[in-house]
Structure formats: structure tokens, C-alpha cells
A = this chain, B = another copy of it.
Amino acid sequence: MGETRTGSGRPTTIVDIARAAGVSKSTVSLVLKGSSLVKPETKARVEDVIERFGYVYNRGAANLRTATSSFVGMVISDLTNPFFCELAVGIEEGLYQRGFVPILANTNEDTERQAQVLRSMREHGVGGIIMSPARGTDAWMLASLYSRTMPMVITMRQIIGSPLPYVGPDNQAGARKAVEHLIGLGHRRIGFLGGYATMTTQQERISGWRDAILGAGLPFDDTLVFESMPTRDGGRQAVEASLAHPARPTAVMCYNDIVAMGATRALAMRGLRAGKDMAVVGFDDIDEAEHNAPPLTTVSAETRLMGARCAESLLGLIQGSDPQEMGFTGPTRLVVRESCGAPVSIRQKELA
């Protein structure tokens, strides 16, 4: 384990401390947890020895005894995507603040790997799991992976039919807000770029897009959905497909920011300017969005907050809260930059 060692070469334990301080190990244990039962002098003496020996607490042993855990599994579907990276940072922060420690696994969208990793985490005694499911995970698969006694929260990708609490942004409201903004700017033919209909996130964002169009009394045309991988390259392909459409859209709502970045880049390569020749809006507001060429108008999913909220929900579950109460649909916020071609007066302002 490699703790600080006594002369004898093994890590110091509470019995070493007890012996040196002339008390029993029970007393040392009491001191360690700051119990008020122990007399101040004794406490001081013990603390002094602890300090001198450079003793380090063995939380694993304590957890074995108390049958608790301070580990939480953090299972991320694609850590290579900056969005999930930010989410992971948010979760990590929330966990540490509450005295828990994350075990990381990147499934890389591989459901096999996901199954292995979940198993491994159980063996390693995590107290609960926060997971953004790999693409292709359905309720049935999840049920077989999930242990009724293991607290678990699902994030970012809703698994329909699963009773596990879900924490994620309000995709529909967010997309709707963005598309309404485009409509306000005068657009009448607005496309949707990226993702596949099998992804619940895409379904939700598409439905926000549709709601905005229908809500404005505009004609709805579902040939304006251009599916693709949710990647930069997918964005490129999707935007090219949209340009080839007989009645090409003048604006597009993208599945997420990296799709939007791929799309703006592809436009630029053809000599077209996002925000002029075609309005482009993303989703997520990753750090890069602001530095895109042109800076991306996008829907902020409040990623860090969302991560913190995952931690909160999981710890609620661990403490026995009703799973039904631990789900959370987070707020979204439209961030207007340049890729939508908004008049300069509204640029840089954030609309609630």
C-alpha cells in the first residue's frame, strides 16, 4: 500500500499509535473521528503521536468494518468529447466536496466494455455509480447490468423504460429556445443537423425544434432533418447534405457543438460564411464554442452544474432517498454569439 512506515518497515496502524501513546486502539479510533468522549489531554497526546509517526488512516479497512464506501463509479461514454470531459469535471468536484472519490472509466461507447467496467466497480466496492450510458444501451441491457442494491444515476442519455433517476438538461426546451431565436431573426426554413433518431437526446432536441417551428405557424418539413454521427465529421456531412437539398434551409440547429463546429468549418471550406450565408446554432456550449470561427451561438447545458447535480442525486440515493425524487431536468440557456448571424446588438448577450 505504501504508507509511511515505522522502523519495522510496515505502515503504521492505530495499534502502533496506541502503543506509543499508551492508550488502547479504541481510544485512537475515537480520537480519529473527533469524538468528544475522549479527554482533551489524551486526545492531544494521541494526536501528537499521529503527527510524529506520519500515520495515514486506512479508509479501506474502516469501510470494510462499517460496510460503507467512499468510492463512486464514474462511467463516461466518451471522454474524448470535450462535453463529457466538462461533465466529468463537474461530477468530480461535486463528489470531492461531499467526501467521495471517483473511480473513472471511459467506455468509449462500447457496451461490452461498459458491462465489464460496471462489474469491476462493484468488485471494487463503489457505493454507487453515475453513468452516461454508451450508445446502444437500452432498458433491458441496463436492467441486466444493474444490481438492485447499487445506487445508480443515469446522465445525459435517458434510457426509456428504466426507473433509474435521470439527470440531464432540458433538451427540448433548449432546442426550442434556439430555434425560436432563429425564427425571430427571420428564418423560415430551418434544418436540423446531426445525431440519429435512435438517440433519445436527438429525439428530444428534434422535438424542441419541431415545437418552435409549429408554434410559429411555419410549415413543417421533416426532410430538413439531416442525420449523421454526432461528431465534427458528421457535422460536415450533414451540412453538405443540407446544401444539396432542393430547397436548402437558411438556418440549421445542430445536434451539438461539435456537429456545429464541423458544419461551420465545412461551410468555410466552400467559401460560405456561417452567420451570413447560413445561420448555425449548436448545443452544449463547450469551452471551444466561444473560440470557433465564427463563435458559436449555442444552448448552454450548464454542464458543470449538471455534473454537480449528478453527484448530489447519487449521494441522495446512497442516503436512502426515493429514486423517484432524485431525477433532475436542468435549465438551459441560449448563448448568442455570431454563428446565428444575430444583429450585433444582441450578440454577446445571454438570453434567459
Task: Identify which of residues 251-266 in chain A touch chain B, using a CB-to-CB cut-off of 8 Å.
Answer: 261-262, 265
Hey, which chain B residues are within 8 Å of A3, CB to CB? Answer: 122, 147, 149-150
Hey, which chain B residues are within 8 Å of A58, CB to CB? Answer: 64, 123, 125
**Complex interface bits, A137-148 against B, C-beta within 8 A gives 1, otherwise 0:** 000000000011
Whether A287 sits at the interface, judged by CB under 8 Å, is yes
Hey, which chain B residues are within 8 Å of A1, CB to CB? Answer: 67-69, 125, 127
Whether A82 sits at the interface, judged by CB under 8 Å, is yes
**Shortest beta-carbon distance from A112 to chain B in Å:** 13
Instruction: Name the prevailing secondary structure of the A interface residues.
Output: mixed
Hey, which chain B residues are within 8 Å of A85, CB to CB? Answer: 79-80, 82, 85
Stretch in contact with the other chain, from A99-107, A170-178, A238-246: A99-107
Interface size class, chain A: 35 or more
Contact yes or no, B106 A89, CB < 8 A: yes
Q: Which of A86, A128, A291 has the most CB of B within 10 A?
A: A291
- How many copies of this kind of chain does the complex include? 2
Contact yes or no, B92 A105, CB < 8 A: yes
Whether A29 sits at the interface, judged by CB under 8 Å, is no
27 contacts between A and B (CB under 8 A): A1-B67, A2-B127, A2-B128, A2-B149, A2-B150, A2-B151, A3-B122, A3-B147, A4-B147, A5-B149, A56-B119, A60-B60, A60-B64, A60-B124, A61-B64, A80-B86, A80-B287, A82-B82, A82-B85, A88-B104, A92-B104, A93-B106, A96-B117, A96-B120, A101-B120, A101-B124, A288-B288
Closest 3 pairs (CB-CB, A-B)? A104-B104, A2-B150, A2-B149
